[in-house]
Structure 1
Amino acid sequence: MSATVEITEVISFLQKTPPFQFLDGNALKRIASGLEVQYIKVEQSTAIETPESGPVLHIIRRGAFEIRSQEGLLVDRLADGECFGISSILENNPEGFTVIALEDSLVYRLDRKTFQTIADDYPSFLSYFTSTRANRLRKLFASQTHPTITPAIHLSNSVDSLMSSGLIATDIDSTVQAVAKKMTAARVSSILILENEQMIGILTDRDLRSRVLATALPADTPVGDIMTHDPVYLSQQASIMEALLLMSERDIHHLPIISHDAKPIGMITSTDLLRNQQLSPLLLASEISRQTNVPALINTCKRLPALINNLVVTNISPVDIGRVLATISDNLIQQLIKLAMMQYGQAPMDFNFLVFGSLARREQSLGSDQDNALMLENEPNEQEVHYFNRLARFVSDGLHHCGFPYCPGNIMATNPTWMMSRQQWQRQFNYWIEKSTPKALLNASIFFDIRSSYGPEEPARQLQAETLNHCQKNSIFLATLTRNALRSRPPLGFFRNLVLESTGEHKNELDLKHNGIALINDLARIYGLATGETSTSTIERLQNLGNKKAMSQENIHNLQDAWMFLSELRLQTQHDHWQQHGKISAYLDPTHLSQLERRHLKATFKAIASAQDMAKIRFANGLPS
């Protein structure tokens, strides 16, 4: 429903809105006198409607919208002071764009006749809109033709779009000979074992070779004796990306798919995925594991930036991209250790190759450096120290040449300080917790996100469990850690303006990592240490805090949304910088953001600041600043 607009109010608004702000008073009065106001509800599609009188230009007075193409591709997001309907008023919307309200909104509508009169009198006015339209068309063209390397399938599609639905199954009493015949007849490489229509096991052709032929079991052996019990599976609503990650992380080649009522309905194999993807995490991880020398590994890893950038432009979530990088990093570390042992011999004792920071959290992005160490079964003698020094150097150098730079702070296994026995590591963590010195607090922000990339899992689990137990009992450590973390605040100044870098190479830019994402990581870590949370992932830590009632659901959702938004911005910024300059940077120029994105960014920083204040009240109240 339309109404006449108060001219004085709208002129005041237009004087602050490009390109209207460059028009003289008479032109603004002409525009304002012909405007109509329209209220649009959230999720309402305006379809850039054309009234009987002809196309109109929509000027957003208050609200947020997104423009989508006929194919549903996102063209742009808009907020206060921006316009849509430009294609309509210039050329009757030949692209067929649709506009959807993201929140309840108010817009001004300017008819084509008035628009054309102003455009004739002010060429720069018309140039602004033709340029805006051209920019949106470029965005649309880029989204349609970007040279991604996975054209056959979209990783966000559900797995049921790719799975084989002709399910081959048997019961637990079938013999291996009968099962082998059934698999051969169906030309499949796996079979499910069912009981009352529920999946209880899986048998693959690899199992038949290794568990039957290699051990000379008789042909009448029941399949229940050799099957894999309770196999990993996914629901049919899961994405292809989730299937890729799960199969890479678990090193499995067959993944059953179940329906909403937990009944098996299909199967995805690694062959299915690789056949449809020339460049995938699964393929790269698999190729890394097959390389027999470091130069071959380096050559294989040259595809990593293209893979990650491919995931960015296909809108894979930052959580999944982090998992992809972690899976590939783990495979690379494990293969480098294997090659080192081929050169230097088997290790003289069990050991763990520990990783910290973003790799431990599975939150790496392009350009992430190394943070690692060695945890040995026992205190080494001189000869054993020499062995592990060589192994650490081999692995660290290999990681560096494969695209994971040396740590500037020397937190690497090559540093003798970070090669210790299990007992020494536990004493080191206890010391940091008890002393709470500035250096100890700095180390806590790095080392307390810990995971074993290689070696037996139990020692690393024990180290984490004992450390968490010690943290929970030491309120002074948690208070001091909180106080130290809160020294870094979101980059918001007076009147909620963004505070940018003031000097140097990144002047007038934002450091998305240290001024945003790291602040959320710190909060999730503090709460995680206080509640004994074993997960190291920031998103999982926050989610589990809700289950433990350790943080309000509102704060949890705000921080999760903030982390996702900032991480998406960071990945997109890195992608753009890599495309333009061939190197990675996480510094963002806010002028490249739309008005809606800038508003969202400010709201995100405000949410982080609020959560920091709550953490201070809970953990550090009473401590001197």
Structure 2
Amino acid sequence: MQIEQLEIIGFLRAHPPFEALPQEALERLATTIDVSYYKAGHQIVEFGQAAEYWYVVRSGAVEVFRRNGTLYNRLTSGGYFGEFGLLRHGRVRFPARALDDSLIYLIPHAVFLDLFDNYETFADYVEIEDRTRLRQVMSRREDANDLLSATVDTLITREAVTLGGRASAYEAAQCMTQEGVSSLLIVDDNPDVPDLPLLSGILTDRDLRTRLLASGLGHETPVADIMTPDVVTVTHNQLIFEAMLAMLRHNVHHLPVMKHQRPLGIVALSDIIRYESRNSLFVVGSIFRAQNTAELAALVPDIRACFIRMVGEEASAHMVGSAMAAIGRGVKQRLLELAEAELGPAPVPYCFLALGSMARQEQLIVTDQDNALIVDDRFDAARHDAWFEALSTFVCDGLARCGYSYCTGGVMASNEKWRLPLGAWERLFTDWIERPTPASLLHAGIFFDLDGVWGRTEWAAHLRKIISRKAQGNPRFLACMARNALLRTPPLGFFKDFVVESDGRHTHAINIKRRGTGPLVDLIRVHALAIGSQALNSFDRLREIIDAAVLPLGRGQDLYDALEFISTVRARHQADELASGNEPDNSIDPEKLSDFERKSLRDAFLILGNAQKYLKYRYQPGRAN
């Protein structure tokens, strides 16, 4: 063996992760390594170029950057980089530059993969570093996405322009013209705190056109008569992503940004667009302009294109699920508008409910419709139900035409079983919690994730409070829910290999919803009920669960990462199927994943399995009998 190779072996043996490799592996490795010299300031690898080598710093110093140009890491002798590109898509994900004159060992792609596949300690160390493997993977995804880190106050370029509530439309138009703005915040005097005006509404160019000019009103009309009251706002430290979702959810184009109850500025649609992962805001706008069900159904290709592009641009599963749920919510709201226009006004007040993934804001492109209806306690079936049956049928049929398939279990407002007065819902939920049965527990897993999308939406919040209060104080019910949450286990065998379907249409595949995201959502719901959380989204529930300290230290973040990664794999599979011209589903073949994805998915399933063991320990499902 040549002296240079002996030197390489001696260096590698002194540094992890090579120190655990057997001598023969080190000797083979030494014969494959090339050595390159880079002067200070020289670019070693560029973002997006083909990933050909794994790099180990022999001497000098190297800086590794995120794609947005911010520093990710600084490496000296023994440090390494480039593994993420080799394990992921074969493209450099983190560019690197020599900080000082540096000697770098270049290990060929195939050699690196051979070490990674055949030496578990080596692979673990490369992935783990100072954090868990999955946490490292997910933090890199988060670092690469501005939507998850930038706050709305970074979009504000000027102070908000305000006007008193007693001003006229003419004065408002003059003010907007002089200030060069497209919206004004309308404020009133605050009798309790004189120097803190009350925000009473917002006036936009569109309001002047549609509510003043188009209605033939005079220019002396008070702004209070044409403004939009009940303003949707965001706080200065909320994420741009959250502001985007607020626009999607409420179909608004201007968001006042508040700080300490004072308006800091206004974020407009145009400010959000440059941070948007695709034009889902435009899709929602098109939904509300649709004049009939056929026009809504014609938007399905746009909705699917939105989904594909969001996934392709590596938006987080949390973001994709929230945006797709907002789109689905918009479709449902527009169908309800169209139904009321056709049927006339409702005979009694009502609230149309979204259930399941739409309510949790975790919807992907493969989804069925789960919905229900709350009617006022004055509801008389003989006089009123024909109208609500027609409304529900119109909406459920319309949703089916728009890609939201009928619920095979009949959990839809078109089923008279799920059109109930508010008092009946209160009694039903109380009965499910106090006297649980196998059937009611299955329903609880669907109906306890509920959100109002139309009408008296405060009724949905009222029911969530009842659920939260009664479930939190009922150990037997929690034990029953925990038992149900343990029925679906992760698809891992005794030796931690994947267990796939052995027959049927999806042979050698895993239903990643039934065996992955579904069980995770179920166990997170149990913990959320136990702490009295009223959050709907599983990620939001996890944050409250972590704050409540009901899980061992670090387990909450593990669950967060596992849910995000499994959901990401599921979303990517559906997007790939759509892009290939196939109908998407939830069945993935683990052999078609990269080595990196398989290992990370296995890690996520192991986290799920351990979380189920803890669920069994904490809530003792055996006492549910």
TM-score by length of structure 1 reads: 0.73
In the alignment, structure 1 segments of 5+ residues that lack a partner are 16-24, 39-44, 50-54, 61-66, 88-94, 101-106, 116-152
Specify the code of the residue in structure 2 equivalent to 1:507: T
Partner deviation per Cα, 1:477-512 (whole Å, 9 max, x = no partner): 211221121122211211211212222222222221
Find the partner of 1:169 among 144, 161, 170.
Answer: 161
3-state SS of the aligned residue for 1:303? helix
Q: What is the deviation of 1:580?
A: 1.6
Answer yes or no: is the 8 Å Cα contact 1:471–1:477 preserved in 2: yes
Aligned to 2:595: 595
Q: What is the deviation of 1:514?
A: 1.1
Specify the code of the residue in structure 1 equivalent to 2:566: L
Aligned to 1:21: none
Aligned to 2:179: 186
Aligned to 2:550: 550
**1 CA distance for matches of 2:208 and 2:605?**
56
Specify the code of the residue in structure 1 equivalent to 2:414: T
**2 CA distance for matches of 1:271 and 1:69?**
26
3-state SS of the aligned residue for 1:550? coil
Aligned pair 1:393/2:393, yes or no?
yes
Q: More deviation in 307-316 or 268-277? A: 268-277
Alignment of 1:133-152 (within 5 A): none
3-state SS of the aligned residue for 1:479? helix
Answer yes or no: is the 8 Å Cα contact 1:170–1:191 preserved in 2: yes
Residues 211, 305 of structure 1: alpha-carbon distance in 2 compared, 3 angstrom cutoff: closer
**2 CA distance for matches of 1:538 and 1:257?**
26
Aligned to 2:567: 567
Residues 433, 227 of structure 1: alpha-carbon distance in 2 compared, 3 angstrom cutoff: closer
Aligned pair 1:3/2:9, yes or no?
yes
Q: What is the deviation of 1:569?
A: 0.9
Aligned pair 1:34/2:34, yes or no?
no
Answer yes or no: is the 8 Å Cα contact 1:163–1:266 preserved in 2: no
Answer yes or no: is the 8 Å Cα contact 1:47–1:97 preserved in 2: no
What percent identity do the matched residue pairs reach? 28
Aligned to 1:289: 288
Answer yes or no: is the 8 Å Cα contact 1:162–1:272 preserved in 2: no
Specify the code of the residue in structure 2 equivalent to 1:475: P
**2 CA distance for matches of 1:277 and 1:488?**
36
Q: More deviation in 558-567 or 199-208? A: 199-208
Aligned to 1:118: none
Aligned to 2:129: none
**2 CA distance for matches of 1:33 and 1:154?**
41
Q: More deviation in 186-195 or 159-168? A: 159-168
Alignment of 1:400-415 (within 5 A): 400-415=400-415
Aligned to 1:369: 368
Answer yes or no: is the 8 Å Cα contact 1:190–1:203 preserved in 2: yes
Answer yes or no: is the 8 Å Cα contact 2:203–2:227 preserved in 1: no
Q: More deviation in 225-234 or 480-489? A: 225-234
In the alignment, structure 2 segments of 5+ residues that lack a partner are 1-6, 36-41, 57-63, 73-80, 98-103, 112-144
Residues 569, 198 of structure 1: alpha-carbon distance in 2 compared, 3 angstrom cutoff: farther
**2 CA distance for matches of 1:83 and 1:337?**
47
**1 CA distance for matches of 2:420 and 2:410?**
16
Alignment of 1:143-292 (within 5 A): 158=150, 163=155, 165-167=157-159, 169-170=161-162, 175-176=167-168, 178-192=171-185, 201=199, 203-205=202-204, 232-233=233-234, 235=236, 238-239=239-240, 241-257=241-257, 267-270=266-269, 280-292=279-291
Q: What is the deviation of 1:371?
A: 0.7
**2 CA distance for matches of 1:110 and 1:602?**
26
The number of residue pairs the alignment matches comes to 539
Residues 449, 476 of structure 1: alpha-carbon distance in 2 compared, 3 angstrom cutoff: same
Alignment of 1:48-87 (within 5 A): 58=54, 78=83
Q: What is the deviation of 1:285?
A: 1.5
TM-score by length of structure 2 reads: 0.73
Residues 79, 14 of structure 1: alpha-carbon distance in 2 compared, 3 angstrom cutoff: farther
Q: What is the deviation of 1:334?
A: 1.9
Specify the code of the residue in structure 2 equivalent to 1:377: D
3-state SS of the aligned residue for 1:577? helix
Q: What is the deviation of 1:185?
A: 2.4
Answer yes or no: is the 8 Å Cα contact 1:509–1:590 preserved in 2: yes
Q: More deviation in 247-256 or 288-297? A: 247-256
Answer yes or no: is the 8 Å Cα contact 2:45–2:95 preserved in 1: yes
3-state SS of the aligned residue for 2:420? strand
**1 CA distance for matches of 2:551 and 2:94?**
42
Q: What is the deviation of 1:372?
A: 1.0
Partner deviation per Cα, 1:176-235 (whole Å, 9 max, x = no partner): 455432211233221357999988646423566789898989969799997968861353
Answer yes or no: is the 8 Å Cα contact 2:318–2:362 preserved in 1: yes
Aligned to 1:447: 447
Q: What is the deviation of 1:359?
A: 1.0
Q: What is the deviation of 1:299?
A: 1.2
Aligned to 2:77: none
